[in-house]
Amino acid sequence: MRNITQRHQYILNHLKKEGIVRVQELSHNLGVSEVTIRKDLRILEDKKLLIRNHGSASPLNSLISDKHVDEKEKFYILEKKKIALAAAKLLNPDDKIIVASGSTLLSFAQCIDIQQHLTVITSSVKVSLSLCRHPHIELVQLGGTLRKNSVSIIGHYAELMLNNLACNKLFIGVDGIDLNSGLTASDMNEAYINQKMIEVSDKVIVLTDSSKFGQRGFCKICEINQIHQIITDSNAPMHIVEQIRELGIEVTLV
């Protein structure tokens, strides 16, 4: 069992690395009770070193930073794979789907193994490269300006293409998901292209690991009630999950 100074340093180091710390996980890793961890977080918040959330804590700057997708791919690898496999089961022959950008969406694309015709529209260059040799997929790459951090397409021309399409499913990622703030992204242009994708899709399916719950990005994508389903890992805070389910939104835990 570490002393209080060692615990606080561990918490701050873990927060810097992961962008979020969870009470249950800290309790397990540090070998102390959840009550002790909550007291530690309260002290650190009083010192203005973090912000407490429901069952977790975030950096003092609560807005998610805009990390490169290559960096995001290194975190929550197992969780993203489970989410991707569950999402792939929702695909049907002749579906016309949109796949947005992000590390979880790339994992989803890598898990698509449909043996009948499927049309995929995507803003993500990495998703396109992953699917371009699939024999049963008709692939539509949105055109426009390349956003380097997400390796995806944004801008006016991509929006024009989306305006002329109609799709039955949209698979989208987020930088933050919160009951009050809704779905958010760390980049304004990314958020806007995602809004366009929602407008032309019958069903909106959010693929996100549990670290995004209670987080907030710089720009809003949509209200929580504009989505239909969330697929996330089993570490998602259950009190938030239940509140989302009460809104009539399906939440799948993997």
Query: What mean pLDDT is predicted for residues 45-59?
Result: 77
Nearest to 34 by CA among 46, 42, 25, 44: 25
**pLDDT above 60 (res 36):** yes
- Which SS3 state, helix, strand or coil, does residue 238 take? helix
In the predicted model, what is the mean pLDDT of residues 160-170? 96
pLDDT class of 22 with cuts at 50, 70, 90: confident
| In the chain, % of residues over pLDDT 90 | 70
Q: Among 3-7, 122-126, 221-225, where is mean pLDDT lowest?
A: 3-7
66 vs 234: which has the higher pLDDT: 234
Q: Exposed (0-12), middle (13-18) or buried (19+): which is 77, by Cβ within 10 Å?
A: exposed
Quote the CA–CA distance of 229 and 250 in Å, as a whole number. Answer: 5
The predicted model scores a pTM of 0.78
- Read off the amino acid at residue 161: M
Which of residues 82 and 55 earns the better pLDDT score?
82
Q: What are phi and psi of 74, to 5 degrees?
A: -80, -10
17: CB partners within 8 A, 6+ apart: none
CA 38 – CA 55 distance, rounded (Å): 8
Alpha carbon distance 142, 159 (integer Å): 9
Q: Quick one: CA torsion of 71, 140, 98, 136, rounded to 10 degrees? A: -100
Closest CA to 207 of 127, 101, 115, 64: 101
DSSP 8-state class, residue 209: -
User: Beta-carbon neighbour count of residue 179 at 10 Å?
Assistant: 14
Structure tokens at 87: 């999402």
Read off the pLDDT of residues 193-242 as tens digits, 9 standing for 90 and up: 999 999 999 999 999 999 888 788 889 999 999 999 999 999 888 888 99
Rounded Cα gap, residues 243 and 224, in angstroms: 11
Is residue 141 pLDDT above 60, yes or no? yes
- Side by side, which strands form the sheet with 56-58? 21-22, 56-58, 51-53
Mean of the per-residue pLDDT values for the chain? 91
Domains of the chain in start order, with CATH, are 4-58 (1.10.10.10), 69-253 (3.40.50.1360)
pLDDT at 181: 84
